[in-house]
Chains A and B, each alone.
Chain A
Amino acid sequence: MNFELTEERQMLQDTLRRFLADKYDVPTRNAILDSDSGMSAEIWAQLAELGIQGALFDEELGGFGGAGFDIAVVFEELGRAGVVEPVSETCLLGGGLIAALGTEAQKGLLESVIDGSTKIALAHSEPRSRYDLSRVETQYEDGKITGHKSMAMGAPNADFVIISARESGGNDDQNGISLFLVPASDLDMRTTPVMGGGVAADIYLDGLSVDDTMRLGSKGVAFPHLETVYAKAITAICAQTLGGMETATKLTIDYLQTRKQFGKPIGTFQALQHRLSDMLIELEQVRSAVIGAAGYLDADTYLRDRYVSAAKNLVGRAARLIAEEAIQMHGGIAMTQEYELAHIAKRVVMADHMFGDTDHHLERFIALSSV
């Protein structure tokens, strides 16, 4: 066992942290949040120049990373700065599925993902699937897809969208789910900004024609690959939420030290000191949970899923505590949209609504424990 970052990852962390501190300040981020696209093309290109997208792919695919701790390092920093650009959607979900299932021709797309010229999204969830990964009602039949995909994160800005559709089996069967890589311009989307940053779309598929060149992988075998990219995306969002909680805690510490009421800094009050301590204790738990998820991401699926679900559950609980306590201890200022904490608090709380919430992953952990 070893708990030190490698020199390469330490450099990646330092570089990304410096870049974001410099280029992704609060006014910049607030402007991005207010923009129509909900992201910055300039930042996206600069991230690619720094090699951030590349750090999420292994060398065979033209990247220089792709392991659990690469994901953890990158997303902790993105989370610390509250970055809303669709890195996970493009690289871990979209890119991850293409890497796992794509033909050589389809994998060619990854080069442009790594250099920042292509963005990808995954449209898998449906209005009635909630967090159940195998529930797919959308049907593929005779070259046409029919159904309704919900809250596809990053889809409005994507060049390609991966759509899941059922070719066989019942609505909840793991077997029978296929994926199709479709140009985003072919899709009928309704887009919405997302609480906590980013944009998403509901996608209406009314007999959308797809040809066999768009098929990603063989017929009906997508499920285990969806599980794998979800494990990565969950690790990423846990690390991102850790970064966000670190910022929320730091802002709270600064505020307790400087805000004066009753003639002294409010940080001198024991009632607040003990609550700050509880935030710090939970933050330490979160850090370990993220390390656990990242460290077992490439282990067998039992160990991987156990640590991934444990992390998502623990992070979800801690995120709520830290966001709520940070807001409470700041008082009124934290209720304003332009103050830095507002965005961070929204982002860490709303992460619980992606890839399965606290309760979902507690149930999954129990199911795994009884195996």
Chain B
Amino acid sequence: MSSTDISPATLSSVGRPPQPSAFSNALVFGWRAMLKFKHVPEQLFDLIMTPLMFTLLFTFVFGGALAGSTGDYLQFFLPGILVQTVVFNSVYSGMGLSTDLSKGLFERFRSLPIWSLSPFAGLMVGDVLRHGIAGLIILGIGLVLGYRPEAGFPGVVLSFLLLFAIGFGTGWIFLVLGLLIRTPMTVMTIGFTFIFPLVFASNIMVRPETMPGWLQLFVNNNPVSHMTTALRGLMAGTASGADVALALLAPVLLTVLLAPVVLWLYRRN
């Protein structure tokens, strides 16, 4: 490859096209997130394996003991594992952000005349894709194993909308971490330190009735429990408006509180 072959002088000189809309910028970042699935299919494996193992282990190992039969337990557990999957997977946007920042890619984005928040919008698009793909696969496996959402197709659609809202809300935690921490692995470790107790001390795996009183107090007020209760209700067709509102409380609060923090951290430099 000789240097004489390089001839930027032959490049036509190109002027700026009309300013693209913020929405079309965000779509480009979404397209990038999809390309990542194509080039790094391993991340899909990460996404699916943990919830898959949880589903199979809890259903077949503990299910009979916890709920009398594996079928009954699956019916109880599957909505919860969907919540867990989405909450765990929102760590990926924080890790992706941290990687982009450490590689200097955001420097280029920030020097472009684009809507300054579109990279974040793109991360969110990527999240929705991830949550959608992972959720559908887990639900599919559940259906094969005998899970039946009583509310049928509309219940499933409403449940997924709630899942996206949950993912959107928890995503902000990891965006803040991603902006603060330059090593993706540390983002994951710190993120999971927060998330693990919330997920396990909830009503995802078992009903809280057998727990000690102080723990019941925590579990019953844990936002992850509210999310799980609402999702079970939506799948079964028994959710009240109050259930859903309670489930949305944490995502809404997180968005209101953390979105400005993310913006401030991003523009701080």
A binds B: no
Interface residues in chain B, defined as those with a beta carbon under 8 Å from any beta carbon in chain A: none
Interface residues in chain A, defined as those with a beta carbon under 8 Å from any beta carbon in chain B: none
